[in-house]
Amino acid sequence: MSAVLDHPGDHAHGHAHDHPSGWRRWLYATNHKDIGTMYLWFSFAMLLVGGVNALLLRTELFQPGLQILRPEFFNQLTTMHGLIMVFGAVMPAFVGFANWQVPLMIGASDMAFARLNNFSFWLLPVAASLLIVSYFVPGGATAAGWTLYAPLSVQMGPGMDLAILALHLMGASSIMGSINIITTILNMRAPGMPLMKMPMFCWTWLITAYLLLAVMPVLAGAVTMVLTDRHFGTSFFNAAGGGDPVMYQHIFWFFGHPEVYIMILPAFGIISEVIPTFARKPLFGYSSMVYATASIAILSMIVWAHHMFTTGMPVTGQLFFMYATMLIAVPTGVKIFNWVATMWRGSMTFETPMLFAVGFIFVFAIGGFTGLIMAVAPLDIQIHDTYYIVAHFHYVLVAGSLFALFSGTYYWIPKWTGHMYDERLGKWHFWASMITFNITFFPMHFLGLAGMPRRYADYPMQFADFNAVVTIGAFGFGLSQLIFLWMVIRCIKGGAKASDRVWENAHGLEWTVPSPAPFHTFETPPVVK
């Protein structure tokens, strides 16, 4: 190990010899590409774990009645599905992209704090193990929903304490990751790359990192208060002791709403890289995109209570949060218009990254519109906590974040592995995902409008058909992701040699280095013209 630490600058000859191999390469990793790879594999593993949770609960919901699960275990599955997907799959995947791409895109040799980077990754498997172990403690995993609302979360068994600990670790990991990304972007750009020439992906990550810094400590505070309420006799959320259960929701959603944008802004960044490449035309309104992202970040901090319209806020509160929430639709709309304008009069080709990007815009917009519908407070009274909201956030998180992550993977994987992926597999993956996604989540809108509440282990007979359709779609969607896994494995093992530029119209520093990107890149900073 000391060999690695002692010669960080000794890159002149034979890179293959100056870093450890075998397990040491990964455990002691300080190279942004290795750490990025670990982040991506970790998040994919978590996607599968969270997916298995989802399929188990969808199996129970295939028909009315309780067939395979007890309701208390069902609640554990819904809770863990949420926690694992949000904190284990989506967030680390974006950090993985940041690790691989930010230094390559700004012409830096690595991330600013290499060992901090290592530490923030290795906290994650520990946190994930805590979550998974919690299934096996007495009482099982926490079943309070991913939002962990008090006082239900105060009632839980020791599984809840493990979940709180896991959230602390993942929060610490995110905060360290953000500090690293901010420092890298602000200080390590290649000469001649002012902020306003920076790729959109770096911009969105910069703003996301600030959001993370602002709100992850708030989450840590909220769950710590639950912890002390559980074990140390405080009563932050217990009315009998002078506390207030609704205060938990205010604190949680002050974190939770910016969190939504934390999971979507880097996705906007990826889409803003992919579309110009395949439209062979520069991004329309680059400056406005930057400002719209900033605008979304600012607004995201003052809309949290739209998750709480049914808690019984006073009229003024209800109206304030309704207005602010409706306003946030505007900058989001501007982004969609900008992407469409980028495609307009371009010269488009539709390789898999572009398919996923166009699919993203189309399906994400549906999620955006249902968001607008729910922002209307008097109407939200009807659809709050029903399957309508389940449909909405899967449209923005699966079709939004996840499709963008797929788009980015197909876009950059030739640079990572040095091989072209199998285009046929990619197209199969896209169409299978797109179709089964909609079969899974579109009928949920109807269930929600008809009044089926979310987090229900059983439901009236009249909801049976849509639930059966949803379950079939869910299995299809789950299986479609195996195509992705197969594509990635094949792309690592071999395939057509990728050129340096990979895509005909790809611009940006990452395309100036060889494919696969060597272990060390930009040891002498490139000069941007």
Partner 1 sequence: MKPKRMADALAVAVLGGWASIAAAIGDMPGGPKVNQLNLTAPVTRIAEEQHWIHWFVMWICVAIFVAVFGVMFYAVWKHRKSRGHAPASFHESTAVEIAWTVVPFLIIVGMAIPATRMVVEQKDTANADLTVKATGYQWKWGYDYLKGDGEGISFLSMLSTPRDQIEDRNYPDAKARREQNPTYLMEVDNPLVVPVNRKVRVVITANDVIHAWYMPALGVKQDAIPGFVRDTWFKAEKTGVFRGQCAELCGKDHAFMPIVVDVRTEADYLKWVEEKKKEMLARTDDPTREWQLADLNARGEKVYAANCVACHQANGKGVTGSFPALDGSKVVLGKSQAQLDVVLHGRPGTAMAPFRQLSDVELAAVVTYTRNAWGNKASDNVVQPSEVTAARR
Partner 2 sequence: MMQADRQPASRRKAGMAATFQAVGASFFGVRGRGSHERDLAGLHPVRVIVAGLLAAALFVLVLVTVARMAAG
Total residues in contact with partner 1, by rule CB under 8 A: 110
324 binds partner 2 (CB under 8 A): yes
Q: CB of residue 298 vs partner 1: minimum separation in angstroms?
A: 15
527 binds partner 2 (CB under 8 A): no
Burial classification of residue 253, based on how many CB atoms lie within 10 Å of its CB (0-12 exposed, 13-18 middle, 19 or more buried):
buried
User: Tokens 């699966």 label which residue?
Assistant: 398
218 binds partner 2 (CB under 8 A): no
Q: Which is nearer to partner 1, 339 or 411 (CB)?
A: 339
2 binds partner 2 (CB under 8 A): no
- Name which position in 5, 10, 27, 65 contacts partner 1 (CB under 8 A): 65
497 dihedral zone (left: phi>0; alpha: psi -120 to 50; beta): beta
Beta-strand ranges (E) seen in 88-220 are none
210 binds partner 2 (CB under 8 A): no
Using alpha carbons, select from 263, 272, 264 the residue that is nearest to residue 290.
Answer: 272
Catalytic-residue membership of 253: no
Catalytic-residue membership of 401: no
Q: Which does 201 bind (CB under 5 to 8 A by kind): partner 2, partner 1, none?
A: none
Which structure tokens are listed for 136?
A: 């096996």
- Name which position in 116, 132, 152, 294 contacts partner 2 (CB under 8 A): 294
Give the list of residues 6+ apart from residue 428 with CB closer than 8 angstroms, or none. 483
Total residues in contact with partner 2, by rule CB under 8 A: 27
446 binds partner 1 (CB under 8 A): yes
453 φ, ψ to 5°?
Answer: -70, 155
Give the list of residues 6+ apart from residue 291 with CB closer than 8 angstroms, or none. none
Q: Are 237 and 247 in contact (CB under 8 A)?
A: yes
Q: State which of positions 145-204 bind partner 2 (CB under 8 A).
A: 192, 194-196
- Name which position in 116, 172, 450, 502 contacts partner 1 (CB under 8 A): 450
506 binds partner 1 (CB under 8 A): no
230 binds partner 1 (CB under 8 A): yes
Catalytic residue among 19, 32, 33, 81: 81
Catalytic-residue membership of 244: no
- From residue 427, alpha-carbon distances to 346, 389, 433 in Å are 22, 30, 10
The dihedral through the CA atoms of 226, 227, 230, 235 has a sign that is negative
Radius of gyration of the chain (CA): 23
- Name which position in 54, 207, 260, 365 contacts partner 1 (CB under 8 A): 365
Which residues of the chain form contacts with partner 2 (CB under 8 A)?
192, 194-196, 285-288, 290-292, 294-296, 298, 301-302, 315-317, 319-320, 323-324, 330-331, 334
Active site residues: 81, 110, 146, 173-174, 257, 259, 261, 272, 306-307, 332, 335, 454
